[in-house]
Structures are given as C-alpha cells and as structure tokens.
Amino acid sequence: MKRPAIFTLLFLFGIASSLLISSIDAKPPNFCIRHPNNPNCVTTVNSTISSTTTTITTLSTTTLPTTDNGQYGIAVGYPGVVVNFNHGDYNGYVSHAKSLGATVLRTDYSTGAGTAFSSLYNAARSQGLEVVPIIVGKSSWTTSTASSVATDLVARYPDIRKVELGNEPNGSWSWGYTPSPIAYSELIKAMTPILRNNLPGVVLISPGLAQYNISSLSNMNAIQYETDLAKTGIDVDCWGYHPYDEWGWNTQMPQMIQALRTLGIGEPLCLTETGRNTLEFTEQQQADAVTFRITEARTRNDLSDLYWYSLQDHCSTCVTDRENKFGLFKTDWTAKLAVAAYINALK
C-alpha cells in the first residue's frame, strides 16, 4: 500500500531519531540483528553485558508434543542460503545439521512449487528432520493475503508440526512500516484457524521478536510488542523471541516472561533464533554460549524450543561483517569448537 508523503517523512524522522537515541543511551554497545533482508544492519538494539543471571519464578507451561523441554535445531535464515553459500547442496547441508543432533530446521516460507523452501523441506524430511516454516507477514498484506499463504502451506505440506507466525515484525525493516502489534494480530487471526483445522496438533509460535530495547517509529521494544500482541487474544502455543547477547538473555528475556505471566499467560518462550558470531568473539566464547544456552533451555519450564543461528559461515575471508561468521561450521564445513559443544549439550 502506498503511504502518504507525510507518513514517509515521519518514518524517516523516526529512523534518524532512533539512531540518535541509541547513540546516547546508557547501554553500550549496539548489537545488529541479523536477517538476509537487513544486509546493511540498519536496525540495532542496545545491549549491556551482564555477569549475573537473573533468577525468575516460573509457572506451569503448556505441554508441547516434543521430547525434553522442546526441540533443538538450526535457524537457517532464508532457504536460499543453501544455494548462495553451499552450492545448492541441500542434502549435504541437512546432513551437517543432523550430525549435531538437531531435529528441526527453521526457515522462511515461500508459496508455490519449486521454491528453495521446498528443496530444503524435501532434503530435511528425507533425513528425518522437521521443518518449521516462518510465515513472514508484511504491512502490505491484507487478511486475505495471510489466509492465502496459510492455505498454500497446509495444502503443500500437510505433515508440518510447527509454524512460526512471523520474523521480527517489531522492526520496520521486516514489517515494512512502523511496527504495529495490533495490525499484525489481524494477520495471525486470519491464519490461525486455517492452520489449526488442517494441521492436526500443530504448534503455533508467535512471531520471533528482535531484542529491541527502545521504541520509535522504526522499531518497538520487544516486551511492549509482545504484551500488546498478547492482549489481542491471539491463539498461540509458544512466544517467539531472539536473544543474541547477555543483556537479551539475562535481562530482557526474564522481563518478557514476567510480563506474560502478569497477563495470566503460562506458555513458554520459543527461542527461534539465538547465536554468537566468531568475528567479535572467539570460538571458545561461541562454544561457551552454545553450552550455556542449550543447557539452560533444557532445564527450564519457561523455555521451550531453541534454534541456533546459524549452521555455516557465509564467507571465509570477510572481516567486517559479523553476519558472515555466525556459523557453527566454517564455509568449508570445518567444525568450530561450538560443534562439539552443541553435540555435548544435547547428550
């Protein structure tokens, strides 16, 4: 939908304001949230490294149809990464994920036949892994669009067991306009009955939210977005969140859980993205993060699925963009220290 010029001006002003506020906020440094549609790292969140872990009281949670406290897998990003960075070898990509003990791959959904999603899905299913499709809603969508996408998914992939209903819509880079949990809830409500009625026992995950701390016209605080979304009464089984650093894990995540409990919501968080790059951190620090986060998720009732971002580095020689160094494996599939950490954490 074309926006009036005044909204465009306000939107640009909001981005400038957000960057200015971020530069003077007391929580250094800025942390760039990854996503293939955000290659320039336009959106950032403020983070503070904390040396302590916040203790929270948990309530009983919804029982999910999984082993352990949830499923552990890989956040692939967009399915085309296998073409871009692994020469289209979907079976090889899936084999490396399976070698970790991962049971699920999470990736953007694409409607229609012959897509990169279908190639990844077929390779994963042939090796016994599940796929969690992400229906990435946009501000340009109507409820009819959302219904159409959901209808396409259930018709083509009737054995899907989990669906994530969005990716970081609390950022304008993903949503396409000023974030609006109210508007997004209408898309979710259009999709939910189609998914529930045609995918028996399906687990629905609310949109995975970026760990933004400051709200502006360009992004919205994750807790505020989650709370406003929950108040609309959407029907989900798990609440998506993307904690990438210690501030997100130790500070915002407990606050988000408590905000949901205050609303009388007992479902767990699904950590549909979490990760640590080896450009700014050492391989040992990445491995330590893998061990700690998977171990903690397995022992807490308020945390369910955890999908690590990501499986494979995108570039072996790049030294300026952290996005290229989130892999557990290097570009040539040489294992980083985090590979053994991932395997051992699931034992």
Q: What is the pLDDT of residues 144-180, one digit of tens each?
A: 999 999 999 999 999 999 999 999 999 999 999 999 9
Angle at the Cα of 291 from the Cα atoms of 310 and 89, rounded to 5 degrees: 25
Distant-in-sequence, close-in-space partners of 162: CB < 8 Å, separation ≥ 6: 71, 104, 130, 132, 202, 203, 204, 205, 305
pLDDT more than 90, % of the chain: 80
Decide if domain 5-345 falls under CATH 3.40.50.1820.
no
Helices 90-99 & 116-126, crossing angle to 10 degrees? Answer: 50
> How many Cβ atoms are within 10 Å of 55's Cβ, its own excluded?
6
Residue-level pLDDT at 129: 98
Q: Is the pLDDT score of 27 beyond 90?
A: no
The rounded Cα 168 to chain-centroid distance in angstroms is 7
Q: Which residues are registered as beta bridge partners of 203?
A: 162
103 — phi, psi (to 5°)?
A: -115, 0
Q: Is the pLDDT score of 34 beyond 90?
A: no
Query: Residue 307: CA atoms inside 13 Å, Cβ hemisphere, count?
Result: 26
Q: How much is the pTM?
A: 0.82
Residue-level pLDDT at 63: 36
Q: Is the pLDDT score of 1 beyond 60?
A: no
130 — phi, psi (to 5°)?
A: -90, 160
Higher-pLDDT residue of 29, 215: 215
| 302-to-226, 286, 346 alpha-carbon distances in Å | 15, 24, 18
Q: Please classify residue 251 by burial: count the beta carbons closer than 10 Å to its beta carbon, then call 0-12 exposed, 13-18 middle and 19+ buried.
A: buried
Residue 262's nearest CA partner among 295, 287, 231, 219 is 231
**Weakest-pLDDT range from 3-12, 25-34, 111-120, 286-295:** 25-34
Domain ranges of the chain: 5-345
pLDDT tens column, 74-86: 999 889 999 999 9
Residue-level pLDDT at 22: 35
| Angstrom distance (rounded) from CA 135 to CA 191 | 9
User: What's the mean pLDDT when you consider all of the chain?
Assistant: 85
Q: Is the pLDDT score of 89 beyond 60?
A: yes
Residue-level pLDDT at 68: 54
Provide mean pLDDT across the span 108-121.
96
